[in-house]
């Protein structure tokens, strides 16, 4: 049965997620702020969830309509075929958001949508009470300029939860964001990658997973695995295909360091959990002691950022050392993500490109310094 899915994305990463969707073979229907809509089938839901690296979630589109009154919201929601999707024991909750719409009260919108779904299910099953002991269906009502998009979340826990993180350092970068930063860089699996502020290892681990073609969702579970519409065989077949696609013998050149011994212990454990510990050379080092391990490498890092002035000053000392490490190395490319808008001055060089991103509500910038590429490469 043809359906429309939406891969949600952090603002600024839409193009990256769109490329992933296309690479997986899905025809893109529309691209908007924070979302990529594409055509699929129910049997494609496992593939999208297991393989998308930079997307936050995969949503099933139930319907779209215009609503400027609560009556229109109720009737539009009730008109959708809820009984064809949610079984009589299905558990469902409603989330919502509203941007530049007449119906601006999100709690009221959620209440109206839930009431409409319940009324439709009552008609379908001839019941006044639902046990809600079955599969999970998280419904979202998204209003933007009075256009309502009703979706159901197929992922459950966000896709950044790969399942390998046993523990984490304070405020780590999300796995989905780390994957996107790598995709936006010059790095390819045959080139050196260096992260001198690796923390709990997210960037090097995501790079190693890419190098070995390890599907990011291979070992985790998803909400739609219990849906009647998605065959159990589709999940087992996609997981089997993903396992067969892993290039276990490939050995990328990935180097990761941090001054904190404890976070390095976490990083090594996380790498072991996903099966890439042998791909990454971890070492405890101050940035001042880091040396570039070869030529034509790519540095990708998320250095510390301090919100308080004393912490910010400490962070800027690190930025200066980072600049001294790579700014004059013509064969190296450097990619640094930070919320410090004065980064270029401290680093000592204006970036070749600067990309605005959002990590949750925090605006960050991705500073990109392009070095020379190898003269002979089959992957560039």
Q: Is 336 exposed, middle or buried (0-12, 13-18, 19+ CB in 10 A)?
A: buried
Are 176 and 280 in contact by the 8 Å Cβ rule? The answer is: no
What's residue 374's pLDDT?
Answer: 84
Instruction: Please tell me the distance from the alpha carbon of residue 222 to that of residue 226, in angstroms, as a whole number.
Output: 8
Collect all residues with Cβ–Cβ distance below 8 Å to 242 and sequence separation of at least 6. Answer: 50, 51, 215, 218
Distance of CA 302 to the CA centre of its chain: 16
Q: With a cut of 70, which residues of the chain have pLDDT below it? A: 167-171, 306-310, 376-380
What's residue 379's pLDDT?
Answer: 47
What's residue 380's pLDDT?
Answer: 46
The tally of CA atoms less than 13 A away on the side-chain side of residue 334 is 24
* Domains in the chain: ranges and CATH: 2-153 (3.30.2130.30), 175-212+247-369 (3.40.50.150)
With 0.85 as the threshold, say if the pTM is over it: yes
What's residue 168's pLDDT?
Answer: 60
Give me the helix-helix angle, 106-125 and 70-78, nearest 10°.
Answer: 40
SS3 content of the chain, % helix, strand, coil (to 5): 35, 25, 40
Q: Is 258 exposed, middle or buried (0-12, 13-18, 19+ CB in 10 A)?
A: buried
Question: What number of other Cβ atoms are within 10 A of residue 106's Cβ?
Answer: 15
Collect all residues with Cβ–Cβ distance below 8 Å to 336 and sequence separation of at least 6. Answer: 299, 301, 302, 303, 319, 322, 343, 347, 366, 367
pLDDT in tens, 132-168: 889 999 999 999 999 999 999 999 999 999 999 876 6
Instruction: Please tell me the distance from the alpha carbon of residue 41 to that of residue 222, in angstroms, as a whole number.
Output: 17
What's residue 310's pLDDT?
Answer: 56
* Tokens encoding 292: 């570039």
DSSP one-letter string for 211-250 = HTT--TTTT---GGGG-TTS-HHHHHHHHHHHHHH--TT-
Collect all residues with Cβ–Cβ distance below 8 Å to 285 and sequence separation of at least 6. Answer: 196, 257, 258, 259
Collect all residues with Cβ–Cβ distance below 8 Å to 7 and sequence separation of at least 6. Answer: 17, 20, 21, 35, 36, 38, 48, 52, 55, 57, 58, 59
Question: What number of other Cβ atoms are within 10 A of residue 99's Cβ?
Answer: 11
- Three-state SS across 42-60? HHHHHHHHHHCCCCCEEEE
Collect all residues with Cβ–Cβ distance below 8 Å to 126 and sequence separation of at least 6. Answer: none
């Amino acid at each position: 049965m043809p359906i429309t899915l939406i891969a949600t994305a952090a603002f600024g990463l839409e193009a990256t997620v769109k490329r992933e969707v296309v690479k997986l073979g899905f025809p893109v229907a529309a691209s908007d702020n924070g979302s990529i809509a594409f055509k699929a089938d129910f049997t494609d839901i496992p593939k999208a969830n297991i393989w998308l690296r930079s997307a936050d979630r995969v949503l099933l589109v139930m319907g779209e309509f215009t609503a400027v009154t609560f009556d229109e919201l109720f009737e539009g929601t009730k008109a959708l075929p809820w009984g064809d999707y949610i079984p009589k024991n299905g558990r469902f909750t409603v989330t919502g958001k509203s941007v530049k719409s007449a119906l601006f009260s999100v709690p009221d919108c959620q209440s109206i949508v839930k009431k409409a779904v319940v009324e439709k299910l009552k008609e379908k099953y001839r019941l006044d009470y639902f046990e809600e002991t079955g599969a999970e269906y998280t419904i979202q009502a998204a209003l933007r300029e009075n256009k309502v998009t009703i979706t159901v979340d197929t992922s459950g826990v966000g896709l950044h939860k790969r399942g390998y993180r046993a523990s984490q350092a304070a405020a780590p970068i999300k796995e989905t964001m780390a994957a996107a930063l790598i995709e936006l860089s010059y790095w390819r699996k045959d080139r050196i990658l260096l992260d001198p502020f690796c923390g709990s290892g997210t960037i090097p681990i995501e790079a190693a997973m890419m190098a070995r073609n390890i599907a990011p969702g291979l070992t985790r579970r998803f909400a739609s695995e219990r849906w009647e519409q998605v065959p159990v065989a589709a999940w087992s077949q996609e997981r089997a295909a993903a396992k067969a696609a892993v290039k276990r013998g490939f050995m990328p050149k990935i180097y990761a360091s941090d001054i904190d011994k404890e976070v390095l212990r976490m990083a090594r454990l996380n790498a072991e959990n996903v099966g890439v510990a042998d791909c990454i050379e971890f070492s405890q080092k101050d940035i001042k002691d880091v040396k570039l391990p070869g030529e034509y490498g790519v540095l990708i890092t998320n250095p510390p950022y301090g919100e308080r002035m004393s912490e910010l000053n400490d962070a800027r000392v690190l930025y200066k050392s980072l600049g001294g490490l790579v700014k004059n190395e013509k064969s190296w490319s450097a990619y640094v993500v930070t919320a410090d808008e004065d980064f270029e001055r401290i680093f000592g060089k204006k970036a070749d490109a600067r990309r605005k991103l959002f990590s949750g509500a925090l605006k960050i910038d991705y500073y990109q310094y392009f070095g020379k590429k190898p003269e002979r490469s089959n992957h560039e």
